[in-house]
Structure 1
């Protein structure tokens, strides 16, 4: 990825405010004990730190579900054998800087590698940070040319980094370039900004997202407390432009690894007019093992929500197969093969025969999947 910062100042300009960007600032804010500072400096040298004021205000204690997501920890320097610097294979699937092409009909465009806050579980933590910068004009032009030259691409996902850290001028220029490509029918923006730094979602920035193509925003939140009045107002500014918003989350130990926490999160999304989209299994990025929740446990947690929340609040529990092999749903499953024919399990755990289905057909369907 090109890491040039040779741009006019307004391409990417941090908003004023006391974002916590280093260990001394975290100590001064009472989020890190002074005696832990020397060890955490080693972590900070390897992975970026940034906690905007709006997000920092949500932290009640360093080990609460908000603090765990963003406060550095010594455990980040312990790399498990299964963890990878590029856990979902972005680098191998990047034909030109700024583009990732994994699926035939869509591609990622990463115009920058800067975020409003740096999550301690991030699957791109080896790449993102304040030195990530933005694609320079030449690199962005090459990325856009690649998209123009591939008419099978119908959907472009703006990600990074966080594309809503771009200035309205720069973001608008990218959206205009994409909508000028006849084969691009859908544009998606993935962002943490609405909950991490909601003041950044100004009317001007929301206007820059407007297009005659299908525009979707996918916002990232992991706990119900992230949906503050300011965050809801930021989302409303996007939604007021007739842009639908989806929600994605990561299943994280200590953050949302209970039925009650997931229920609260997904209810908060729906109440903010955000449709829960994906609940991601944690990607094995270096130093993230403390957040890992086993898949079997994740399936039980999601099953525990069935019947408790509306279908509007039900996401797809998904795994991005390490190595760049794509996303697959993890269930839970309710259809089972039995000696006397197929059965379906209800939300309370009861099993019921499906007289309309035969065991051979069920087995054939399983093989085809």
Structure 2
């Protein structure tokens, strides 16, 4: 390298560094769960004392499910500031809510705007939604047999339960939560398996709910074995949020079962860096050691993660625990959830601030799940242009236009 090349290189390096200063300034103000260990531990102790439990109880996922917080008075004992108590009582008459003790322990007890709290505490805005639809993606009319949703030629969903460790206020299946936990009957799951057997074009099956990993070990093993025995099923996927809301569910026994059914992919849902905790990292590591491939599907949520710096920090934290960012979902227009919706321009701005500003591994696809059961539509900034001579012009991440010559 000659002197001029060195000068040019140093100038370019300085220019690149300046482009990330806004993130570097914001980064230290975006806490992760790995940085809130002391605060979370204090809240955990408060919960354990309130429930008259032990650390052994805390580590038992069945205890966590049995002791979910689901009434206002109980919640008030943990949170110091909870001004929407009467609103919660109004909402719970229409929409069920519950939160695992673990996920509650991640919330800020003094901050009503805590991004964790907003995901599980009911808001009066849920009752003021006049635009949302009960079933915007038309699952009822894309269900060829009980428990199955099919929107694509070669893959489908089996819904195995309505149960979750914590009921997200932005849930796309808010209509199915009901008043009690219900697993799909064995008969209806058997019908779903039979449908797959009779349709050899189905090569990819997603097991979801609710939360698929809240099935018993025995039931999961049986279903995965049934799918393994169908020659044309190439891969299985599981949709779950337990690494986020109930990481103690990822037991050695469960991992042993999952490890017996490759290839197996798990899609989870981390929405904010505060959810990336030591417990979540341990759960993900156990799954990886079992041979499971992990990816993440975040939901873009107003006043929770609708910020380029938060999404970037989240995705970089996920890569550190070996979870690949896969989708960033635009919030669906589900009735009772519209207060979480952003404009598409917000999602596009986030994508603009990811491409080129972080590694490609940290960039998910921005997805709109369109109404009517017509499937997912990827949305991304425009990088391809044509001029009047039909010559291609590309836009770089820095908004520089460059000519691209195609082979004729």
TM-score, normalised with respect to structure 2: 0.81
Task: Report the Cα distance in structure 2 between the residues aligned to 1:310 and 1:65, rounded to whole angstroms.
Answer: 25
CA deviation string 1:17-42 (max 9, x = no partner):
442112222222226636x3233212
Partner of 1:141: 190
Which runs of no fewer than 5 residues in structure 1 stay unpaired? 1-12, 359-369
Q: Are residue 45 (structure 1) and residue 93 (structure 2) matched? A: yes
The residue aligned with 1:353 is 403
**Partner SS for 1:349:** coil
Tell me, yes or no, if structure 1 residue 326 matches structure 2 residue 375: yes
2:279 to 230, 236, 241: 230
Matches of 2:405 and 2:125, distance apart in 1: 53
Map of 2:214 onto structure 1: 165
- Tell me the CA shift for residue 57 of structure 1: 1.4
Q: From 121, 145, 162, give the equivalent of 1:71.
A: 121
> Kindly tell me: are residues 182 and 356 of structure 1, through their superposed partners in 2, closer, same or farther at Cα, counting changes over 3 Å?
closer
Asked whether the equivalents of residues 262 and 292 of structure 2 are also in contact (C-alpha less than 8 Å), the reply is no
Aligned with 2:303: secondary structure? coil
Residue 251 of structure 1 aligns with which residue? 300
Q: After superposition, where does 1:270-289 map in structure 2 within 5 Å?
A: 270-289=319-338
What is the aligned partner in structure 2 of residue 15 from structure 1? 62
Q: Structure 2 unaligned runs (5+)?
A: 1-59
Deviations 1:330-365 (A, max 9, x none): 01221122336332111122222223389xxxxxxx
What is the CA distance between 1:52 and its match in structure 2? 1.2
SS at match of 1:319: strand
1:51 and 1:128 map into 2 onto residues whose CA distance is 13
Question: Which is higher, the Rg of structure 1 or of structure 2?
Answer: 2
Q: Distance in 2 between matches of 1:129 and 1:19?
A: 16
Give the drift of 1:270.
0.7
1:269 paired with 2:324, answer no
Cα deviation digits, residues 139-186 of structure 1 (max 9, x gap)? 222222112221111111000100111111111111111111111111
Deviation for aligned residue 1:132: 4.2
Mapping of residues 92-103 of structure 1, within 5 Å = 92-103=141-152
Give the match for residue 3 of structure 1: none
Residue 47 (structure 1) shift: 1.6
- SS for the counterpart of 2:316 is helix
Q: Which residue in the other structure is 1:7 paired with?
A: none
Distance 1:108 1:149 in 2: 15
> Aligned equivalents of 2:399 and 2:106: distance in 1?
37
Shifted more, 161-170 versus 342-351: the winner is 342-351
Which of 234, 238, 248 aligns to 1:189? It is 238
Q: Aligned equivalents of 2:180 and 2:261: distance in 1?
A: 34
2:264 is matched with 215
Kindly provide the CA deviation profile for residues 33-79 of structure 1, in whole angstroms up to 9, marking residues without a partner as x.
36x32332121122221211221111112312111111110000112
Q: Distance in 1 between matches of 2:216 and 2:261?
A: 20
The question of 1:126 aligning with 2:175 is answered yes
Partner SS, residue 39 of structure 1: helix
Q: What is the number of residues matched between the two proteins? A: 344
**Structure with the bigger percentage of helix:** 2
Contact between 2:61 and 2:246, CA under 8 Å: does it hold in 1?
Answer: no
Superposed CA RMSD in Å reads 1.8
Taking the aligned partners of 2:148 and 2:242, their CA distance within structure 1 comes to 22
Q: CA deviation at 1:271?
A: 0.6
2:41 maps to: none
8 A contact 1:115–1:129 mirrored in 2 = no
